[in-house]
């Protein structure tokens, strides 16, 4: 115990160490607030999803070239502008659902858990999920069709 005490005393003699220890102590409330913010994400499993999305983003970043990313970004912007200009009722419902039903979306995220292939298959039986996939697949078809210049198909 005396050896450890001597080591601590020696460390505390260093001004830089003292500043860092003081900075750490002064930031304990910030650390606690951060941990309290993260706690619900861990408890609901959302943290694993966020980490997975982070890895996915890094993987996509490594795979996709700057030109491809720029092309997708412009295509996405153009598609959103086109949707905004469209006055069809179903497009307006989709935009409204995305903008006006944030609480409903958060609730669905909390209660929807994909833990494996069987749970995914069960979710895919839901009629709303099927309709959403139809819309998403239609969008992806258009995105894929116009993502590259004609000579690269």
Look at residue 76 in the predicted model and tell me its pLDDT. Answer: 67
Look at residue 137 in the predicted model and tell me its pLDDT. Answer: 84
CA distance to 32, 107, 118, 128, 141, per residue, from 110 (Å)? 24, 5, 19, 17, 29
Same domain, 104 and 130: yes
Same domain, 53 and 69: no
Look at residue 28 in the predicted model and tell me its pLDDT. Answer: 87
Look at residue 82 in the predicted model and tell me its pLDDT. Answer: 66
Residue 24, SS3? helix
Look at residue 95 in the predicted model and tell me its pLDDT. Answer: 65
pTM here is 0.35
Same domain, 22 and 80: no
Query: Chunked in runs of 10, what are the mean pLDDT values of the chain (153 residues)?
Result: 73 80 86 84 80 74 68 68 63 68 76 82 87 83 77 56
Same domain, 29 and 79: no
Domain region containing 35? 1-63
Same domain, 94 and 52: no
10, 45, 63: which is the final residue of a domain? 63
Same domain, 72 and 130: yes
30, 63, 96: which is the final residue of a domain? 63
| Tens digits of residue pLDDT in 77-94 | 766 666 666 556 666 676
Same domain, 125 and 76: yes
Look at residue 56 in the predicted model and tell me its pLDDT. Answer: 73
15, 36, 63: which is the final residue of a domain? 63
- CA-based nearest residue to 76, from 142, 153, 150: 142
Same domain, 125 and 103: yes
Look at residue 133 in the predicted model and tell me its pLDDT. Answer: 85
Specify the DSSP class assigned to residue 116.
Answer: S
Look at residue 54 in the predicted model and tell me its pLDDT. Answer: 73
CA distance to 17, 19, 81, 89, 133, per residue, from 13 (Å)? 8, 11, 63, 72, 63
Structure tokens at 153: 């198909």
Look at residue 147 in the predicted model and tell me its pLDDT. Answer: 77
* Count of structural domains within the chain: 2
Specify the DSSP class assigned to residue 87.
Answer: -
Same domain, 38 and 109: no
Same domain, 69 and 139: yes
Look at residue 66 in the predicted model and tell me its pLDDT. Answer: 67
Contacts of 72 (CB under 8 A, 6+ apart): 64, 143, 147
């Amino acid at each position: 115990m005396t050896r450890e005490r001597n080591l601590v005393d020696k460390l505390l003699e260093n001004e830089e160490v003292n500043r860092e220890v003081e900075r750490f102590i002064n930031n304990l409330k910030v650390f606690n607030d951060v941990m309290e913010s993260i706690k619900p994400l861990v408890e609901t499993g959302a943290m694993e999803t966020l980490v997975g999305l982070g890895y996915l983003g890094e993987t996509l970043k490594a795979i996709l070239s700057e030109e491809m990313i720029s092309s997708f970004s412009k295509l996405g912007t153009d598609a959103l502008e086109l949707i905004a200009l469209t006055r069809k009722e179903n497009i307006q419902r989709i935009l409204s659902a995305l903008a006006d039903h944030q609480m409903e979306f958060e609730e669905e995220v909390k209660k929807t858990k994909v833990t494996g292939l069987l749970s995914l298959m069960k979710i895919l039986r839901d009629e709303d999920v099927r309709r959403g996939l139809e819309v998403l697949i239609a969008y992806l078809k258009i995105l894929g069709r116009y993502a590259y210049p004609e000579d690269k198909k």
